[in-house]
Amino acid sequence: MIYALYDEDSNRYEVGKEVLSKNATNKHEELEEKLAIKKNGYIETFVVNETAQDVWFDNFRVLSQGSLLVQETHYDPWGLELKGIGYEYAGVKKNKYLYNGKELIEDNGLQNYDYGQRMYDPVIGRFNRIDRFSEKYSSLSPYQYGANNPISNIDINGDSIVNNNRAVIESIVNDLNRIFESTYGTSGFSTHERSKTEKTRTNDWSLLDPSSWGNIFKSAEYDLVTTTDYAISLNEDFDWNQDKYTSGMKDVVSGSGDVYVDIVQDNGSKFKNSVPKGMDGKGLLNGFGGGYTVSSNNVILSNKLPNTDNRNKTNTWTIGALTLHEILYHIHTVGKTESGNPNKMREHFGLKRGRSHGPGSKQKY
């Protein structure tokens, strides 16, 4: 029995065969080949006798069995799970990246989706904080999701426009490079600009925004909006496989999805809205050492953090030091290898030591 597998473009990528043994003489022998099909495409299979003996084949069949379904989740258009019609296979770790691929946050009783810049509540179809670009879309509620039309639109990152401040990104890049130059003898990071154009409805309405009610009976109007943000990129001439820390930074910076690292006002509203209630009394610098991992794709840093230099590197929390700690210890799985001791990484880079604490459960890479 011979088989050949072809992809969708009819390119053959696998060939195999099963042959009869000597035990098949004057007896019935079953030939069976179980294949795991890894690509969409076609199978060609046939039986052939290449000997001088007579051979009879019968009951030749090709059967197909689908992959094991381990989880199935259904939603209404706003992302609220429709209970009772989904499915979870027992014994398999539950997938937390659900509606639109966003992580479901269930800490402290929450049932919100993490959109990076804001948290989204599918029960009411609204974000929990005002869109910081809401003044550019006066006809929309500052809490709206997907321009109030979740069937046609989605919010990618919880912002109507993703617009990281270039000065913030460059200050982080420059400070990371100071640490890398001191440790590895060369810088590893640079800043690059990203742009994208999306169709956005300009005359939507919201029940919570009376000023927009006049748009109810109007035809939808759209405009193409070009957005720009600034991101960290890897320098190609740096050896990113030197150790687990450089490899971890490579995974995060070049991986799928964005990690938003924001410098926020210490003890300001964004900090207080990001940490669990009751833990915001001392501020970001005094209470958390200057940084906090809100989720697997959002980190906040205190605006009181200084840049790194040879005088403060070992005795002061700095922008670059906190960026490395939050990303490598709390977002990358390298944190799981540190035995609950973040000072291993700090000692590697020659940075200020701090208290021991676990890496948490927000690892993504």
* 287-298 residue pLDDT tens: 888 888 888 878
Using DSSP's 3-state secondary structure scheme, residue 225 falls into strand
Question: Are the C-beta atoms of 230 and 164 separated by less than 8 Å?
Answer: yes
Positive or negative, the CA dihedral 311, 317, 319, 323 is positive
15-69 pLDDT, tens per residue? 888 887 777 777 788 878 888 887 888 888 888 887 888 888 888 888 887 777 7
pLDDT band for 160, please (50, 70, 90 cuts): very low
| pTM across the whole model | 0.52
pLDDT the model gives residue 180: 94
DSSP 88: E
DSSP 214: G
Mean pLDDT (whole number) for 223-229: 74
For 176-204, give one letter per residue: b (16+ CB within 10 A) or e: bbbbbeebbeebbbebeeeeeeeebbbbb
Higher pLDDT: 158 or 129? It is: 129
CA distances for 361 relative to 277, 293, 295, angstroms: 18, 10, 9
Pairwise CA distance, residues 333 & 328, whole Å: 7
Give the start-to-end residue ranges of the domains of the chain.
Answer: 1-67
CA distances for 134 relative to 145, 160, 209, 252, angstroms: 12, 8, 12, 30
Question: Are the C-beta atoms of 321 and 349 separated by less than 8 Å?
Answer: yes
Question: Are the C-beta atoms of 163 and 182 separated by less than 8 Å?
Answer: no
Both tokens assigned to 220: 């939808």
- Asked if pLDDT for residue 114 goes beyond 60, the answer is yes
For 54-71, give one letter per residue: b (16+ CB within 10 A) or e: eeeeeeeeeeeeeeeeee
- Asked if pLDDT for residue 101 goes beyond 70, the answer is yes
Q: What is the mean pLDDT of the chain?
A: 81
Q: What are phi and psi of 340, to 5 degrees?
A: 70, 15
Q: Identify each DSSP E strand in 9-128 by its residue range.
A: 12-17, 41-46, 71-72, 87-88, 103-105, 112-114, 119-121, 126-127
Pairwise CA distance, residues 363 & 232, whole Å: 19
Pairwise CA distance, residues 120 & 100, whole Å: 12
pLDDT the model gives residue 162: 29
pLDDT band for 76, please (50, 70, 90 cuts): very high
- Asked if pLDDT for residue 132 goes beyond 70, the answer is no
Question: Are the C-beta atoms of 317 and 292 separated by less than 8 Å?
Answer: no
pLDDT the model gives residue 161: 24
